[in-house]
Amino acid sequence: MKKLSSLTIAASLMLSVAPVWAQKSASQSIDEYREMLQDGNPADLFVAKGEDVWKQKRGPKGASLEKCDLGKGPGVVKGAFTELPRFFADTGRVQDLESRLVTCMETLQGFNAAEIAKTGFDKGEQKNVTALAAWISSESQGMRFNLPQSHAQEKMFYEVGKRLFFQRGGPHDFSCASCHGEEGKRIRLQDLPNLTKNPGDGIGFAAWPAYRVSNGSMWGMQQRLNDCYRQQRFPEPVFGSDATIALGVYLGVNAKGAKSIAPAIKR
Amino acid sequence: MKFNTKWTLGALTVAALLAGCAAAPNVAEVKALTDKIVKASFQSKGIAKVDRVLNIDETNLACAEADVAGKPLDEKTAKAIEEMNLKAVKWPSDGKFIGDWKKGEAVAQSGRGLTWSDNEKTVNGGNCYNCHQISKQEISYGTIGPSLYNYGKLRGITDPNSAASKPIVEYTWGKIWNSKAYNACSNMPRAGHAGILNESQVRDIMALLLDPKSPVNQ
């Protein structure tokens, strides 16, 4: 932390004396700040909790999640994350990691899925869903995204996700593409990944779940999309809704080959 | 499940028709399913009501369609959209185009307003610095839009109230009020048209860009 504060001071000194340089320095120091935080990513705490929650006997049925099928067979966790969202025959739906976890919590443990979907982020069982997502993603760290596109519904969801990505609306006429449709753009000093293609290892889809320093909390992809839509001035996407899942398919398929760094740490 | 079977059959039909081509889902079916999914997936929250995704105007529909196709609108459609938006521009009620650049700077800095975490009392900002460089002093600016540094100076504006300045002044008002009047599928919000900013706020942003005393023109 000492290192961090001296860097902050150095950065602010540079800002005041060398405005021409300042831009690069500010953006560089943000990168360095992230790098330093990477040494002790608070996401690790959620990873540890998630593994516990997975193994614990919980819910009305007093069962663990160890038989949950995340797409690679009951109980297989490693490599599951980088192939989600995908089609599940038992529910007849394309599901992302979080909605699939809620399905397992209902079928194996007897929780009420609709009730969990209605619960706010960072509250009640949603906290456990986020921790589980953090742990499950960590088990695929370093693996490359490779979403299946063989089922007709997976193909369909990619196309729907693409339309949603370009859907303009709300008072500001924003779409996802307004910010994420071009290379090398920024909002203020924040670099924006181009999500219409593979934006690179550990960028965009390959970085969530992530610990958000600015909010001091762990976010899954569902919450990330929820906040995008908030800033886009859209109404709220329902947790686990098909719109969020179709967008996940579009982003995930576009990210094919990108190395996952989830759970990452973000500003 | 019924619905699932229905479109699976649809996709198979398309595959058969294309006879061996890699079967992408049928466009009409994708559109219909997207509409259905949008209706089921969004809920009103605070001031952000579902009509924001259910009642999308002609301009946004046409531009989104072009974005999905990955090619710009054809010239005729683009012109028609621009004309329609130009007609909707509300010119200053008292004929005054230029306000106070200092207030304009505050409007340009603010990115607040109209999200579900805002309320009716939130004073909306212009979000300008999120996408544009404006004054040289503010180094935290976005790059989605072009730099507006020296906006008035570069256009030779020495007195924004003069007759010679009129075309630039009017264009600038129109662009802020309704960006789509000049570029059908501009990424820029229609600040006046959509009720994001009021007339007096637009006047102040005008001053920020065009007043020779504004830091933008130093």
pLDDT, tens digit (0-9, with 9 covering 90-100), for B123-165:
999 999 999 999 999 999 999 999 999 999 999 999 999 999 9
**Statement to judge: residues A238 and A115 lie in one domain:** yes
pLDDT digits (tens, 9 = 90+) for A103-149: 999 999 999 999 999 999 999 999 999 999 999 999 999 999 999 99
Contacting A residues, span 217-256, partner chain B, CB-CB under 8 Å: 230-231, 233-238, 241-244, 246
pLDDT (average), residues B20-32: 80
**Statement to judge: residues A142 and A58 lie in one domain:** yes
Highest mean pLDDT (candidates A1-15, A160-174, B16-30): A160-174
The CA distance from B41 to B27, in Å, is: 20
**Statement to judge: residues B48 and B119 lie in one domain:** yes
In the predicted structure, residue A152 carries a pLDDT above the cut 70: yes
Band the pLDDT of B5: cuts 50, 70, 90. very low
Q: Which of A151, A187, A226, A229 to mutate to test the interface with B (most CBs of B within 10 A)?
A: A187
| CA dihedral (B137, B142, B147, B148) positive or negative | negative
Instruction: Verify whether the Cβ–Cβ distance B64 to A167 is below 8 Å.
Output: yes
Which residues are CB-contacts of B76 (< 8 A; sequence separation ≥ 6)? Answer: none
pTM of the model: 0.89
In the predicted structure, residue A38 carries a pLDDT above the cut 70: no
**Statement to judge: residues A63 and A134 lie in one domain:** yes
Distances (CA, A) of B183 to A221, B86, B175, B187: 34, 10, 9, 9
Instruction: Verify whether the Cβ–Cβ distance A243 to B37 is below 8 Å.
Output: yes
Residues spanned by the domain of B176: 42-218
**Statement to judge: residues A58 and A29 lie in one domain:** no
**Catalytic residue of the set A68, A104, A179, A228:** A228
Report the pLDDT value the prediction gives residue B1, as an integer from 0 to 100: 37
- For chain B, what is the domain count? 2
Instruction: Verify whether the Cβ–Cβ distance B52 to A233 is below 8 Å.
Output: yes
**Statement to judge: residues B30 and B135 lie in one domain:** no
Query: What CATH number does the domain containing B164 carry?
Result: 1.10.760.10
pLDDT digits (tens, 9 = 90+) for A66-81: 999 999 999 999 999 9
Instruction: Verify whether the Cβ–Cβ distance B41 to A177 is below 8 Å.
Output: no
pLDDT (average), residues B188-197: 98
The mean of the pLDDT values for chain A is 90
Instruction: Answer yes or no: A176 catalytic.
Output: no
- For chain A, what is the domain count? 2
Residues spanned by the domain of A154: 45-267
Nearest Cβ partner of A244 from B1, B8, B41?
A: B41
Residues of chain A with pLDDT > 70, as a percent, come to: 86
Last residue of a domain, one of B41, B58, B73: B41
Paired sense of beta strands A264-266 and A86-88, if any: unpaired
